[in-house]
Structure 1
Amino acid sequence: MSPVPSGRIHNLINIAAYSVLAAGVLVATRQSLLTVTPVQALNFTLGFFVGTFLLSPDLDLAEGRVDSKRRWGLLGFLWVPYGMLFSHRGLSHTWLLGPLTRLVYLAVVAALVVGLLRFVWPAVPLPGVPQPLSLKVLLPLLLGYYLSQWLHLIADGVRPDHGLRRARREVRKRF
């Protein structure tokens, strides 16, 4: 297996890809080939950069020194259990479920923190989730997030059928 890029190289790949994509979208919108609102562009960008810098697939190595974990600052310790739950380049490095595992993990951690806050300090004012969350808001966020994850996986040499191939091998071993 060929060596995988460092975190710094992953970031450079994602930034370069984002720059090319943004330039292409800008040209396409100026020529009326595509319609992208500023809010959609902002949400895509937010999802992309959160996926690149904060929710990298390499958080499955969070017991060690991982750039994404360090970027969380004092909250980086929250990702250590994720690193213990998922083996490196396992489920966390699959194309659909891998990025979803980080979102679900983050949602569970947030729910536990909110639950603990409500238990300890019932009157604490907490920010609410804007309602309704429309597809126009969520879709660009998720597209940006998933694209950043897929670029990481491509750079690691992980094929889209990675999870399926691994599952088939596991089934063959057991039967």
Structure 2
Amino acid sequence: MPSGRVHNLINIGAYSVISAGALIASRQQLVTITPAQALAFTLAFAVGTFLLSPDLDLAEGRVDSKRHWGLLGVLWVPYGLLFSHRGLSHSWVLGPLTRLAYVALMVALVVGLLRYVAPGVPLPEVPQPISVKVALPLVAGYYASQWLHLIADGVRPDHGMKRGVRKVRRR
């Protein structure tokens, strides 16, 4: 299992290849990629690589992703206590969703607290609706960064499925 630094280098290298391929495909008019789509993919890929790494399930220890949060890194300790390392948080579909749900919960708690303590404070709003042309690159960038991490860890897409199937067969 690579260190956090090696995971980051793998993702940076893969991003370079992905972006070069997208640029070549775009120049040859095989695909159309708008600047907004490229930015959305890039931001989501960076967030998935540096801030929302699957290794946050080790957040009670020293984890690069937790350090990248600065003082807010302490907020990830409960996540690390909730999920065992290489368990659900290292699954291909649900793992990335657990981190997004955790961030959403933290944001909801802060917003709720602000509305209770200072009800007159204006809060930014999420633009409605978010178009598929922006949402798709966000999801693709985030999941690509997560899956590269899992591939480097040697986690197969069916991670945990065999164990679950065995439990069902025993009954």
Matching residue within 144, 148, 167 for 1:147: 144
Whether 2:90 is the aligned partner of 1:93: answer yes
Provide the residue aligned with 2:135 in structure 1.
Answer: 138
**Counterpart in the other structure of 1:37:** 34
Q: 1:72-118 CA distances to partner (integer Å, 9 max, x unpaired)?
A: 01111111111011000000000000000000110011101100111
1:168 and 1:100 map into 2 onto residues whose CA distance is: 22
* C-alpha distance in 1 between matches for 2:142 and 2:41: 8
1:160 maps to 2:157 = yes
**Counterparts of 2:18 and 2:25, CA distance in 1:** 10
Counterparts of 2:162 and 2:141, CA distance in 1: 26
**In 1, distance between residues paired with 2:31 and 2:106?**
38
Counterpart-to-counterpart distance in 2, 1:165 and 1:60? 22
Shift of 1:37: 0.7
Cα distance, 1:133 vs structure 2 = 1.1
**Match for 1:75: what amino acid?**
L
- Provide, for residues 99-145 of structure 1, a one-character-per-residue CA deviation record: whole Å limited to 9, x for no partner: 00000110011101100111111111211111211111111001000
Q: TM-score, normalised by structure 2?
A: 0.96
Deviates more, 1:5-14 or 1:163-172: 163-172
Q: How big is the shift at 1:167? A: 2.1
Please tell me the residue identity of whatever aligns with 1:71. H
Q: Which segments of 5 or more consecutive residues in structure 1 lack a partner in the other structure?
A: none
CA distance in 1, matches of 2:147, 2:20: 20
Pairwise CA RMSD: 1.1
Secondary structure of the residue aligned to 1:53 is helix
Q: Counterparts in 2 of 1:9-158, with a 5 A limit?
A: 9-158=6-155
User: More displaced, 116-125 or 58-67?
Assistant: 116-125
**Aligned-partner Cα distance in 1 for 2:158–2:32:** 32
Q: Distance in 1 between matches of 2:156 and 2:33?
A: 30
- Any runs of at least 4 consecutive aligned residues in structure 1 with deviations exceeding 3 A, and if so which? 169-172
**Matched position secondary structure for 1:131:** coil
SS of aligned partner of 2:160:
helix
Relative to the length of structure 1, the TM-score reads 0.94
Percent identity over the alignment? Answer: 76
